[in-house]
Amino acid sequence: MTTTTTTTTTTTTTLPRPELLAALVAALLGCRPVVETPPEQAPTVAVPEDSRPTAPVRPAPVVALPDFAELAARMGPSVVSVVSRLPPEPGRKSRRPRHGVGSGMVVRADGQVLTNHHVIADATSFSIEYADGQQVAGRVVYSDARLDLALISPEVAEAERPVLTLSERIPRAGEWVMALGHPFGLGDTVTVGVISGLARDHEDLGHPEELDPDGVWSFIQTDASINLGNSGGPLVDLNGEVLGLTTAVRADGDGVAFAVPAVMARKFLDEVWTHGRFRHARLGIDAVELDDVPGPREVVRVQRVAPEGPGARGGLRTGDLILAVNDAPISRLSELAYIGRLSGVGVPLALQVQRGPTLLAVSLIPDEAQLTPPAGG
C-alpha cells in the first residue's frame, strides 16, 4: 500500500481527529489501526511475506553420461570368443558332441587369452575366435579351478593382437562399468552398469555348482547384465582398464552378477608367466568364523596350528582371534585366504591378533601349499 504525504501550507485545513481517522481507515481497508509515527522517526513500511529476499535457487548440475560407444569400440578388438567341444551329455541317447561358448580377453600380443577355468574345464578341445573373425585351435597354458582362472593360447600365433590392461586398483561401489562378451553366442555384446559391492564369497553367490567350493573368492558384484557365455569377458572402467572377469550370476536374483577381481588375475598371470603355475600360499593354520563374541561383527579364530608351519613360526596359538591382515579388518575365512593368496608365497603378512585381553602384532610368512590333486591342466 502506497502512502502519500501532503505538505501543509500557511492555509489551515481542519482535519478529522486522529482517532477518528484511524478508525475510518481501518474500516475501509481492513488494516490494523494506524499508530502515529513520531516526527523524528522514519515511517516503517511492512514487506509482504512473498516479497522477502530468499536464497538463490541453484540450477541442478548437468552430468554428462560416459561415451560408452567409444569405449566399446576401443575395447572390442581385444575381446574373444572361446568355443568349446564338449563330450555328449551323460544319460542321453544322443552321442553327439556338444558345444559351449564363453568369452575371454587378450593379455599378450602373441594372442594369449585370459578366461575362466569353467569355460574350458570340460572341453575335449576348443578354439579361440578373435575380433577380426579369425578362429584358431587353442591349448591350455595353465588353468586353476580354485581361482576359476585359465590362461589359454592359440596353437600357432599368426598375428599380433591388441592387449587389454588389468587394473591394479580396487574399484569403488557406485562407479560405472561396462561388460563385454558373447552371451548365448551373441558376439560383440556390451552391457553397462555400476559396481554394486565388493568382497563377495562363494556363499554370497549362492554356492554355484560350476565354482569350486574350496576356491579363493572375493568377487566384485555388478548390476551390468551378465548371461551364459559372458564368462571370462572383461568388466572395464571408463578408462578402459579391466576391473575383473565376469564369472557368475545369482540364479535366484536379477541384476546380481559377479567378477573375479583384476588384481587377482594379475597375480595369476605373474605367477604363471614366472613359475609356470600359480603357487597357492599356505598359512599353516585351521580357523573358524565366530559370531558369538562381543562386538559388531564376526571374527576368525585359530582352531589348530600346524607344527613347524608358517603360523607356528609366526607365533600363532590355538584360540587366537585374527582381527586384521595387512591393516584390512577381516571377519571371514574367505577374506583371510584371499589376502594370503593375493600377497603370495614368501611375502610377509602383518596380522593383528587378540589373545585374551591382549592385542598382538604377528608377522607370518606363507609357504607354498601342496595341493592334491594339483591345480592346473
* Residues taking part in catalysis: 118, 148, 231
Query: Dihedrals φ, ψ of 323, to 5°?
Result: -100, -30
Residue with cell 569377458: 233
222 exposed, middle or buried (CB, 10 Å; 0-12, 13-18, 19+)?
buried
The Cα 223–Cα 192 span in angstroms is 8
Which cell numbers hold the place of 198? 565388493
Rounded to 5 degrees, what angle do the CA atoms 161, 165, 166 make?
130
Helix axes 262-275, 333-343, angle to 10 degrees: 40
Of 72, 83, 370, give the one whose Cα is nearest residue 229.
Answer: 83
In sign, the C-alpha dihedral spanning 275, 277, 282, 287 is: positive
Which cell numbers hold the place of 312? 607356528
The Cα 29–Cα 46 span in angstroms is 15
Query: Dihedrals φ, ψ of 285, to 5°?
Result: -140, 155
Exposure on the CB side of residue 362, measured as CA atoms within 13 A = 26
DSSP 266: H
The Cα 321–Cα 303 span in angstroms is 10
